[in-house]
């Protein structure tokens, strides 16, 4: 069997095992849990936790089993970094699956009614756990940067929507989003946890994006030095490490701002909350305006869209200052603009990675086809082995 068929087969096996674990685990919980833990929202939390655990374990098994870095063949740093990467990706999957499942359970409960839906909870847990086990196993085998980028909006939308639907303050949107998280209720904790996990995911995805930009630049310079091409062709970006350092700092700062907004509620920590909430738009503005200098390998369309997003947010802010809009709408626009931009940025990085791998394959094939290569050339002779920061078999 080829790689894709093996991935699908492993996904089917994972589906069966995860479905069985979900059914047994949820039935066991409902039979032995005390009455205080049989409340609807707590049942949903446990069910979402079981589904998330099944998905993450399936992902780790599928991802780590293919890795060639979990040994000391290349020193101790390679396996340590690989373990960190697996842990980081697992955090992204765990938060995404948990919040998405919780939102799904809430919608189904509203449609069927609590009395009827509770009888189906074990079956639903088994079905969703099986589906998540299948998806994470297949994605682990075929991991790419586009896959990670596509996960970000799901749990953010699911978490904020769930918080808005379960809050006991029906007029929170008349003030701002901080009011939604400015309590000790379940909805407030859900909202704040979503923001903190969003920040963590931004930092994690940024790590892989920066790693890819570094890999691409290193290989392009190696090819340039190997073939002695014209130095004016633009392969060498001046002050590249300074640029990449500033880009990494701004992306990390934006992730920390999301974490701070959720970690510091307005009422007891109004100063820190405002620093993070009001600092995020400033970081966004600097990032958008400096993008052509920070990451010149991105497409010009990406840079134009970034500037356009900054202008639209500024226009909405000015309109709010004139009394024609609400702060909630401006905050929603700014947050969605950044997340939308970040997804676009991540997919651009994924496209750069795909183009680089294609270029490496073409150069390797050309090297093997040359008479001097004699059909015995290696990937290193063509400028380095095929590399991907997210590939499971790395």
Burial readout 42-60 (b: 16 or more C-beta within 10 A, e: otherwise)? ebbbbbbbbbbbbbbbbbb
User: Does residue 393 have a pLDDT over 60?
Assistant: no
| 225 in the same domain as 120 | no
pLDDT of 162 strictly over 80: no
* Predicted confidence (pLDDT) at residue 155 exceeds the cutoff of 80: no
Identify the residue with better confidence: 387 or 252. Answer: 252
User: What pLDDT, on the 0 to 100 scale, is given for residue 80?
Assistant: 82
143: Cα separation from own chain's centroid: 12
pLDDT of 104 higher than 70 = yes
Q: Provide the pLDDT confidence category of residue 338 given band limits of 50, 70 and 90.
A: confident
Q: Is residue 81 part of a domain?
A: yes
Q: Is residue 171, in this structure, part of any structural domain at all?
A: no
Prediction pTM value: 0.75
Contact yes or no for 122/43 (Cβ under 8 A): no
Residue 380 has pLDDT above 50, yes or no: no
- The total domain count for the chain is 2
Question: Is 214 in the same domain as 107?
Answer: no
pLDDT at residue 316, rounded to an integer: 83
pLDDT tier at 236, thresholds 50, 70, 90: low
261 plus 387 within the same structural domain: yes
Q: Are residues 81 and 228 in the same domain?
A: no
pLDDT higher than 50, residue 234: no
Q: Are residues 364 and 268 in the same domain?
A: yes
Give domain status of residue 341, yes or no. Answer: yes
**Same domain, residue pair 133 and 207:** no
Question: Could you say which of 105, 123, 143 is where a domain stops?
Answer: 143
Task: For residue 161, tell me if it sits in a domain.
Answer: no
Confidence of residue 271 (pLDDT cuts 50, 70, 90): confident
138 and 211 belong to one structural domain? no
Shared domain check, 253 and 106: no
Based on the domain organization, do 84 and 229 belong to the same domain? no
The reply to whether 192 falls in a domain is no
Range of the domain at 120: 1-143
Mean pLDDT (whole number) for 186-192? 78
Q: What's the pLDDT at 383?
A: 47
Same domain for 388 and 260: yes
Which of 143, 158, 187 is where one domain is finished? 143
Q: How confident is the model at residue 235 (pLDDT cuts 50, 70, 90)?
A: low
Distance of alpha carbon 262 from alpha carbon 188, whole angstroms: 9
pLDDT the model gives residue 72 = 64
Same domain, 131 and 222: no
Domain end point (choices 143, 165, 186): 143
Highest mean pLDDT out of 19-23, 178-182, 218-222, 268-272: 19-23
- pLDDT surpasses 70 at 229: no
Mean pLDDT across the stretch 359-377?
Answer: 65
Residues 96 and 218 both lie in one domain: no
Nearest to 104 by CA among 166, 38, 48: 48
Region 284-312: what's the mean pLDDT? 89
Indicate whether 263 belongs to any domain.
Answer: yes
Which of 2, 1, 96, 3 has its CA nearest to residue 392? 3
Rounded Cα–Cα distance for residues 241 and 247 (Å): 10
pLDDT for the residue 232: 46
Structure-model confidence comparison of residues 296 and 324, the more confident one? 296
Examine residue 210 and state whether it is found in any structural domain, yes or no. yes
Look at residue 130 and tell me whether its pLDDT is greater than 90: yes
Question: Tokens for 369?
Answer: 């086809």
Residue 242 lies in a domain: yes
pLDDT at 379 over 50: no
């Amino acid at each position: 069997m080829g790689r894709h068929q093996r991935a699908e087969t492993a996904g089917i096996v994972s589906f069966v095992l995860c479905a069985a674990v979900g059914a047994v685990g949820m039935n066991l919980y409902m039979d032995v849990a005390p009455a205080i833990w049989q409340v609807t929202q707590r049942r949903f939390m446990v069910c979402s936790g079981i589904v998330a655990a099944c998905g993450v374990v399936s992902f780790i098994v599928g991802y780590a089993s293919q890795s060639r870095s979990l040994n000391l063949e290349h020193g101790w740093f390679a396996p340590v970094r690989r373990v960190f990467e697996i842990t980081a990706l697992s955090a992204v999957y765990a938060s995404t699956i948990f919040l998405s499942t919780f939102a799904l359970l809430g919608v189904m409960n509203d449609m069927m009614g609590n009395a009827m839906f509770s009888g189906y909870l074990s079956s639903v847990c088994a079905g969703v756990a099986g589906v998540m086990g299948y998806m994470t196993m297949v994605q682990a085998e075929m991991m790419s940067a586009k896959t990670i980028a596509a996960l970000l909006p799901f749990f953010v939308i699911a978490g904020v929507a769930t918080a808005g639907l379960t809050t006991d303050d029906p007029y929170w949107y008349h003030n701002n989003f901080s009011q939604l998280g400015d309590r000790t209720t379940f909805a407030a904790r859900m909202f704040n946890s979503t923001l903190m996990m969003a920040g963590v995911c931004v930092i994690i995805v940024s790590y892989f994006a920066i790693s890819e930009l570094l890999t691409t630049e290193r290989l392009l310079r190696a090819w340039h030095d190997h073939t002695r091409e014209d130095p004016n062709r633009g392969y060498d970006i001046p002050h590249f490490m300074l640029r990449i350092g500033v880009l990494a700092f701004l992306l990390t700062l934006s992730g920390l701002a999301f974490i701070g907004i959720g970690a510091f509620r307005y009422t007891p920590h109004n100063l820190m909350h405002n620093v993070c909430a009001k600092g995020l738009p400033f970081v966004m503005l600097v990032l958008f305006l400096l993008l052509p200098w920070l990451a010149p390998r991105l497409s010009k369309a990406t840079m134009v869209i970034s500037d356009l997003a900054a202008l639209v947010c500024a226009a909405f802010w000015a309109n709010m200052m004139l009394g024609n809009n609400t702060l909630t709408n401006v905050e929603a626009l700014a947050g969605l603009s950044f997340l939308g931009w970040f997804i676009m940025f991540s997919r651009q990085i994924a496209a750069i990675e795909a183009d680089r791998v294609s270029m490496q394959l073409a150069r390797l094939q050309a090297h093997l086809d040359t008479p001097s290569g004699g059909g015995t050339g290696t990937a290193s002779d063509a400028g380095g082995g095929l590399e991907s920061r997210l590939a499971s078999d790395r």
